[in-house]
Chains A and B, each alone.
Chain A
Amino acid sequence: MSIQQSDVEKIAHLARLEVSAEQAQRLTKDLSNILDLVDQLQAAKTDGIAPMAHPMDAEQRLRADTVTETNQRDALQSVAPAVENGLYLVPKVIE
């Protein structure tokens, strides 16, 4: 499968990464090489093989419904780039 520069631009936008035309060109080459490697997978016979999302076939443990967290706002917001009145600030959100 070959990847076009327009594909790279599209996925870069989806991933919220800014790429210049020049970067997109180089990335198209890189990603094509990687996809050539990945395409070896197509040779594998996988009919009837269940996809494996986790290395262990374990089941989720469930927590009891208790409140264990206390208010840590000050500590957690000490690393925030922009806060005011306890809120994280971002450029205006338009719905």
Chain B
Amino acid sequence: MQWETVIGLEIHVQLATKSKIFSGSSTTFGAEPNTQASAVDLAMPGMLPVANEQAFRYAIMFGLAIDAEINKRSVFERKNYFYPDLPKGYQTTQLAEPIVGAGHVDVQLSDGSSKRIRIHHAHLEEDAGKSLHEDFHGMSGIDLNRAGTPLIEIVTEPDMRNSEEAVACARKLHAIVTSLGICDGEMAQGSMRFDVNVSVRPKGEDKLGTRTETKNLNSFRFMERAIKLEVERQIELIEDGGSVTQETRLYDGDKHFSRAMRSKEEANDYRYFPCPDLLPVVFDDDYIARIKADLPELPDNRQARFIEQYGLSLYDASILSAEANMASFFEAVVKACDDAKLAANWILGELSARLNSEEQSVSASKISAVQLAALIKRIKDNTLSSAGAKKVFEALWNGENNDVDAIIEANGLKQVSDTGALEKLVDEVLAGLPDQIAQYQEADEKKRKKLMGGFMGPLMKASKGQGNPKLFTEILIRKLGE
């Protein structure tokens, strides 16, 4: 049977506010346990929440970026359940009246097509704390520093049909929130976490199959692998005569394995109701219009600008413009070396290869934009051959030295572009190759090109790799034609 996969995403995005959504505690990542958990965050008796305006501003920015309706009135509700990382015994969230209504994002797929993914809504809520499972005499330790960090939860429609579309959607949302500056996008720190709803159905069937929810995927690669694994699992289950159980699953990326979550086995009844400690949040059109006017450049607009301003291809522009960090790195390189094409080639080639192999984002690049620009400048002024440039790149990456010119000097990578010296070398080499010269001179244009390599090899050897290949070629053609 032919199966169709249906995927919807729920994405938790930690907002980059300085303080928490309902208290004045810091949201800095990595503090000592419970040092950023105030009486409000700990739900001490009598403590009350006061909402952070910046969290709303960020949520509205997101809503505007996905072309969504902004609800001028939104209401916080209590979602009731017991868990040690949830101090109040309820999560303050939005349900019936979220801040951001329906919107959409457009994603580029590898076959060159694009697809529109609908966003059902996005709402504001508070993050929970963390349970640490290291053994404390058979107990777990609870750290509530994260409790109360503002989140927007973005809920998509089940519009995706395979893992590529799901990952493209996730990447696009990552690009949007980082471009807006409302989230640091650090997925390894949990700044953006993906829950994936997956179901399968026979191709042509309208009714949705039973779905599972795989929680807290924190890299695009894990997301892709978890979806593929879950699709296989569900199809296998059904084809073996079983059926899919609606459940919440946990994916272990290191072991590439998933299982149902025990804490979610119980059917929940969250008993949502409007939070009586918080009043409805109301904005007027002016407020929203002011935010709209100040919206930073969005990935789609930036892509168009890169094509227009730098003459990049659609493909290059789409990759370089997607992430705010990548885009600003690229523009910093271009600004310093004034060559968009070379900048794009080096970033998408050598630099991306390195980052990918080390699983790092551009913000963790060991080569700065200024260094890369200096390298490119030395290519442009013929100081470096492409082989030499790669050696300099290598040295920069490994931290041998952080000055491009010093590396060139120390490793003798400077190309010889002195025409007189090169001509002398050519004469010397040609003197030892009379047969090849004769062969060359008898050959037609097409064959001659091939025969050039036979001269270049000895020439590069004679110049200890430092001769400018472009100049060598020019001299050779001239001399052989005489």
Contacts and interface: CB of A to CB of B under 8 A. Distances in A.
A–B direct touch, CB within 8 Å, in complex? yes
Interface in A39-86: 53-54, 58-69, 71-73, 76-77, 82, 84-86
Nearest to A94: B262
Given A69-B25, A69-B38, A76-B42, A90 B84 contact: yes
A85 B141 contact: yes
B144 A88 contact: yes
A53 B33 contact: no
B23 A88 contact: no
Nearest to B28: A67
Interface string B210-251: 000000000000000000000000000000000000000010
A34 to B, nearest CB: 18
B419 interface: no
B37 interface: yes
B279 interface: yes
B26 interface: yes
Interface stretch (B131-139, B170-178, B315-323, B341-349): B131-139
B84 A63 contact: no
A63 B250 contact: no
A67 B37 contact: no
B142 A69 contact: no
B263 A94 contact: yes
B53 interface: yes
Contact of A71 (B19, B35, B51, B281): B35
Contacts of A58: 279
Nearest to A89: B139
Contacts of A92: 133, 138-140
A11 to B, nearest CB: 9
Nearest to B150: A65
Nearest to A68: B24
Counting contact residues on chain B (CB < 8 A from A), the size range is 35 or more
Interface string A8-34: 000000101000000000000000000
B352 interface: no
A87 B142 CA distance: 5
A73 B35 contact: yes
A67 B18 CA distance: 6
A69 B279 CA distance: 23
Nearest to A65: B54
B406 interface: no
Contact of A59 (B52, B56, B143, B281): B281
A71 B36 contact: yes
Contacts of B269: 14
A66 B82 CA distance: 30
Q: Per DSSP, are chain B's interface residues mostly helix, strand or loop, or mixed?
A: loop
A87 B136 contact: yes
Contact of A54 (B25, B26, B35, B279): B279
A90 B87 CA distance: 13
A63 B23 CA distance: 9
A91 B139 contact: yes
A90 B103 CA distance: 42
B17 interface: yes
B133 A67 contact: no
Interface string B37-50: 11100101000001
A60 B23 CA distance: 14
Nearest to B32: A86
A90 B85 CA distance: 10
B278 interface: yes
B365 interface: no
Contact of A63 (B51, B75, B142, B282): B51
B24 A88 contact: no
Interface string B253-270: 000000001110000010
A14 B90 CA distance: 12
A93 interface: yes
Contacts of B26: 67, 69
B123 to A, nearest CB: 15
Contact of B139 (A60, A72, A90): A90
Contacts of B51: 60, 62-63
Interface of B: 17-19, 23-26, 32-39, 42, 44, 50-56, 75, 82, 84-85, 131-133, 136, 138-144, 250, 261-263, 269, 271, 274, 276, 278-282
Given A76-B37, A93-B85, A95-B262, 14 more contacts: A14-B269, A14-B271, A59-B281, A63-B19, A63-B24, A63-B53, A65-B53, A66-B19, A69-B36, A72-B39, A77-B34, A86-B143, A92-B138, A93-B131
19 contacts: A16-B82, A58-B279, A61-B279, A62-B50, A68-B19, A69-B26, A71-B36, A73-B32, A76-B42, A76-B44, A84-B136, A86-B33, A86-B34, A86-B143, A87-B33, A90-B84, A93-B263, A94-B263, A95-B263
